[in-house]
Chains A and B, each alone.
Chain A
């Protein structure tokens, strides 16, 4: 055989007779054109494409440009390279850092990017994406043998293989959703609803407009045996909504939203139920009779009772337990209710005098901070925000109230006190009092211990400063409390006497200071004025 073939090979080209049949010889050429590069397109099995039919049609191809994606992955373009926001030498620094840590970023090679092919034109086109296939093996190479006009064969090596797949534009479920739907496949009748549902979910999430509530309410089936019923219900509702939608726009949307959220909730519940059932290996708890629960064993129930059994009612809601639980909660519930009411009232008051509120909040914070440390109530009052000395007067009243309140055994006092105090005549002082009350709540004990002396001093001091005049007495009073800088003094009086200009204020204060001649301390380079306490 081998010799036969050899002989044939040696003989001239052309047909020659052999025992088997016609033999023809062709010369094989391997042209070496460096410019032409051959690649193979492999279409996914089942893809319907035939270039023969389309030979008069159009085919277009181009590499995909993923440079932008490449840059965002590696954060190469995060900062601008010049102009606003750019740093000098940023690129070099980044590169140096990468080299130092040996971070190698794969270079973006545009010749490795997938191909995009478009067959046909206009609306009727089909798009394909061709991804390169790796591992052209080291031991084989593929050649294309084509027959030339002169009867010789030409062989071209194929350098790359691309797998082309049609590009899908329709939406599909991702793996999680697919798993979900798969588990429900026996129950779903309408497969269209799956995608419709998905689309509506997406719309919901992007929807932000608040909408009016729909008036009509549906009677929902309280018993839902299978998901089928659930979907059927909601489908019916959907259809109805679509009809009504032509008229009213907002309402149905809101209803849908509710439906979907409910359905979603249900879906979740269902999923959970299923999971629980699967994993429940048989604690056999359901066989036990719970004395308080109404549910009994299955066999004794008839059809309706069985349906009722599946009703979603927590154990605590069942008649027996409910009473027990309710009685316990009653007392605490009542308390909470009362507090809530008070809070509401207090808030209403606050809104009425909204301007001062912010200031007060600041005050209250400061008060609460310092209140913990101070034992003397009068000193704490001076530590509180400086501009309001009126508070002292009100403190008088608040302390009184606190004494009364002490008798009620309430743990949370601040809110309650606020309520009571609001009956005071001075409306402006109302909020201030609240602050005082809060503070009072924190150190209520201390105050009640020594109400008498604090009352005295606070009363006296309040009378002095509340008048607002810049008197020697007032300054003395301030300086006795704590050392202050001249600036602070000015600030205090500024609030009172806003009519006077700064210069006038400082002049007056200066005069008075000379009279008083307070001691001077230097703390951190700032001069503080103080008066020794004289009792």
Chain B
């Protein structure tokens, strides 16, 4: 949509960067409150530590725990309290037979003003799925309580107003009308130009579009209506049937429109 004349044709396919295609990545489902905090990470973006304990028992999944930094934990999320649990466990699950691939779009700074340069790159393949679940403690309970309260509040509220609303008052003459009348008074009546001049002007006008309304023509040519109508009777035909009802168009002998491609 940033291109002024919108393209309708199919765009050519862009090359995809496959350098990181062999990477294995984890897909982790993270609760909302946690992700909101993470979004507000400052500096390098360190949010916490991930601890992986691989068990010696064969066949069992390793334990993964995520613990948040102190600093990070204090980050204020507007609308919510800071009380978030610090410990989260990752519940690991397999990918199943789904084929999940991650790709990224890199919006360039705009080398040329008209084009959005985007580099598409494959970031990796999902090898492990995990769910980030909080270790339940008091703070978590409080958080959830608040959450439930918030969501149960109705989104629209009825408030009683104390004063008088003064937006609409009955007025003898509205501002817009006053302006309009003033404009007409000052603008004065339209003056008739020479016939040739008006005719030339009309030809110019009709080059841009084929059908015109009488009011539009009056406005564009700045001629009085009756005079203009006279001239139009010579030059134009008046369409009475749809699709261009009540519109003037040049007579065939006067027009030479090129065929639209």
Chain A residues with a Cβ under 8 A of chain B: 2, 5-6, 8-9, 13, 18, 20-32, 35-43, 45-47, 49, 51-52, 54-55, 58-65, 67-68, 71, 79-80, 82-89, 108-110, 116, 118, 138-146, 153, 155-158
Given contacts A21-B53, A29-B47, A36-B105, 14 further A-B contacts (CB under 8 A): A6-B87, A24-B54, A26-B51, A32-B45, A36-B106, A37-B104, A38-B123, A55-B18, A64-B10, A85-B210, A85-B257, A87-B210, A108-B1, A144-B102
13 contacts between A and B (CB under 8 A): A2-B135, A9-B51, A21-B54, A21-B62, A27-B49, A36-B105, A51-B125, A61-B16, A65-B7, A87-B247, A116-B13, A143-B30, A146-B26
Please tell me which one of the listed residues B12, B16, B41 contacts residue A59 in the complex, with CB atoms under 8 A apart: B16
Please tell me which one of the listed residues A40, A55, A88 contacts residue B213 in the complex, with CB atoms under 8 A apart: A88
Asked if B120 is at the interface of the complex by the 8 Å CB criterion, the answer is yes
Contact flags B31-70 to A (C-beta < 8 A → 1, else 0)? 1100100110100111111111111100000110111000
Please tell me which one of the listed residues B7, B13, B135 contacts residue A67 in the complex, with CB atoms under 8 A apart: B7
Contacts of A45 in B (CB 8 A): 97-99
Please tell me which one of the listed residues A49, A54, A82 contacts residue B99 in the complex, with CB atoms under 8 A apart: A49
A20 and B55 form a contact (CB under 8 A): yes
A139 and B102 form a contact (CB under 8 A): no
Known: A9-B51, A26-B49, A144-B26. A88 touches B209 (CB 8 A): yes
B23 and A146 form a contact (CB under 8 A): yes
Known: A23-B51, A60-B14, A64-B10. A144 touches B209 (CB 8 A): no
B210 and A84 form a contact (CB under 8 A): yes
Closest-CB distance, B77 to chain A (whole angstroms): 14
Please tell me which one of the listed residues A21, A39, A67 contacts residue B103 in the complex, with CB atoms under 8 A apart: A39
Contacts of B6 in A (CB 8 A): 67
Cβ-closest chain B residue relative to A59: B16
Cα(A223)–Cα(B15), bound, Å = 63
Cα(A158)–Cα(B25), bound, Å = 13
A22 and B54 form a contact (CB under 8 A): yes
- Chain A to chain B: the 7 pairs with minimum beta-carbon distance, closest first: A84-B257, A60-B13, A43-B99, A145-B26, A141-B35, A87-B211, A51-B21
Asked if B208 is at the interface of the complex by the 8 Å CB criterion, the answer is yes
Please tell me which one of the listed residues B28, B87, B212 contacts residue A155 in the complex, with CB atoms under 8 A apart: B28
Contacts of A71 in B (CB 8 A): 8
Contacts of A55 in B (CB 8 A): 18, 21-22
Please tell me which one of the listed residues A80, A138, A146 contacts residue B124 in the complex, with CB atoms under 8 A apart: A146
Closest-CB distance, B143 to chain A (whole angstroms): 13
B104 and A39 form a contact (CB under 8 A): yes
Tally of A-B Cβ pairs under 8 angstroms = 242
Chain B residues within 8 Å of chain A by Cβ, number: 82
A88 and B25 form a contact (CB under 8 A): no
A35 and B107 form a contact (CB under 8 A): yes
Contacts of B67 in A (CB 8 A): 9
Known: A82-B209, A142-B27. A24 touches B52 (CB 8 A): yes
Contacts of B63 in A (CB 8 A): 20
Which B residues from 193 to 227 make CB contacts under 8 A with A?
208-213, 216
B51 and A65 form a contact (CB under 8 A): no
Contacts of A63 in B (CB 8 A): 11
A28 and B49 form a contact (CB under 8 A): yes
A139 and B32 form a contact (CB under 8 A): yes
Which B residues from 228 to 259 make CB contacts under 8 A with A?
243-244, 247, 255, 257-259
B213 and A142 form a contact (CB under 8 A): no
Asked if B71 is at the interface of the complex by the 8 Å CB criterion, the answer is no
Contacts of B160 in A (CB 8 A): none
Please tell me which one of the listed residues A51, A62, A140 contacts residue B12 in the complex, with CB atoms under 8 A apart: A62
Cα(A59)–Cα(B104), bound, Å = 14
Contact flags B85-118 to A (C-beta < 8 A → 1, else 0)? 0010000000001111111111110000000000
Known: A41-B101, A65-B8, A118-B13. A59 touches B18 (CB 8 A): yes
Asked if B9 is at the interface of the complex by the 8 Å CB criterion, the answer is yes
Asked if B122 is at the interface of the complex by the 8 Å CB criterion, the answer is yes
Contacts of B100 in A (CB 8 A): 40-43
A87 and B103 form a contact (CB under 8 A): no
Cα(A26)–Cα(B11), bound, Å = 43
Cα(A174)–Cα(B130), bound, Å = 41
Contacts of B260 in A (CB 8 A): 80, 83-85
Cβ-closest chain A residue relative to B3: A110
Asked if B138 is at the interface of the complex by the 8 Å CB criterion, the answer is no
B104 and A36 form a contact (CB under 8 A): yes
Which B residues from 149 to 186 make CB contacts under 8 A with A?
none
Cα(A22)–Cα(B53), bound, Å = 6
B21 and A26 form a contact (CB under 8 A): no
Closest-CB distance, B14 to chain A (whole angstroms): 5
Contacts of A87 in B (CB 8 A): 209-213, 244, 247
